[in-house]
Chains A and B, each alone.
Chain A
Amino acid sequence: DAGVIQSPRHEVTEMGQEVTLRCKPISGHDYLFWYRQTMMRGLELLIYFNNNVPIDDSGMPEDRFSAKMPNASFSTLKIQPSEPRDSAVYFCASSLNQLSGYTFGSGTRLTVV
């Protein structure tokens, strides 16, 4: 298995632009997570899905952030409009079931200038 695949690895965009981050979870994993990592706030859970359904989005910082999972093999995290304070590494992770550990993707380093 190729693991959790995220794209792009790096994204530099101008303030106000729309940014879309992509994730392909491990096949057969029922859970998908989006985390954000910054020096100030560490690792924060933004949202997670179970069987493609969003379960908890309480960590999504504001309405500018949205996430979708149209099928079991693909998810997106969109920021519109982006702001410099959104600069962070965004990780996608998946897990087999409720009790297993996560497998993380390599992350997307987002820089908003």
Chain B
Amino acid sequence: AQKVTQAQTEISVVEKEDVTLDCVYETRDTTYYLFWYKQPPSGELVFLIRRNSFDEQNEISGRYSWNFQKSTSSFNFTITASQVVDSAVYFCALSGGVSGGYQKVTFGTGTKLQVIP
């Protein structure tokens, strides 16, 4: 069975601080995909990134960066110089080929990030 654990339920930071959101996953699949989604207070879910299990290179997109480490089954998300607009709930998610198909995405419980001005 697949499982995604986001141990941090809520995090508060002061604007301009860096913050890292942790994600640990479990899967029996050798090929799988990891995702991050953002849910701002308005409620919609916004896709941020998809990473496959064969690509362990870190990725940077503006102030966002992702660190994928297969050895520790982690896919952490860092926001550099946080801004108030980053306040949202962030979900880590996983899909795998054997465990129900690549389309069957399992979401973590989310981390609520509050950026204080």
Question: Which chain A residues have a beta carbon within 8 Å of chain B's beta carbons?
Answer: 31, 33, 42-43, 45, 48, 50, 55-56, 89, 91, 93, 95, 98-107, 109
Chain B nearest CB from A78 CB (Å) reads 22
A55 contacts B45, C-beta separation under 8 Å = no
Question: Which chain B residues have a beta carbon within 8 Å of chain A's beta carbons?
Answer: 33, 35, 37, 43-47, 49-50, 52, 91, 100-110
Alpha-carbon gap, A65 to B41, bound state (A): 28
Which of A43, A50, A107 is the one whose CB lies under 8 Å from B103? Answer: A50
- Give chain A's interface secondary structure class: strand
Alpha-carbon gap, A87 to B76, bound state (A): 32
Cβ of A98: which chain B residues have Cβ within 8 Å of it? 101-103
Total of A-B residue pairs, C-beta within 8 Å: 52
A91 contacts B101, C-beta separation under 8 Å = no
A99 contacts B102, C-beta separation under 8 Å = yes
Chain B nearest CB from A91 CB (Å) reads 6
Nearest residue, chain B, Cβ from A95: B103
Cβ of A103: which chain B residues have Cβ within 8 Å of it? 47
Alpha-carbon gap, A104 to B46, bound state (A): 7
Which of A95, A99, A104 is the one whose CB lies under 8 Å from B44? Answer: A104
Cβ of B107: which chain A residues have Cβ within 8 Å of it? 42-43
Cβ of B50: which chain A residues have Cβ within 8 Å of it? 99-101
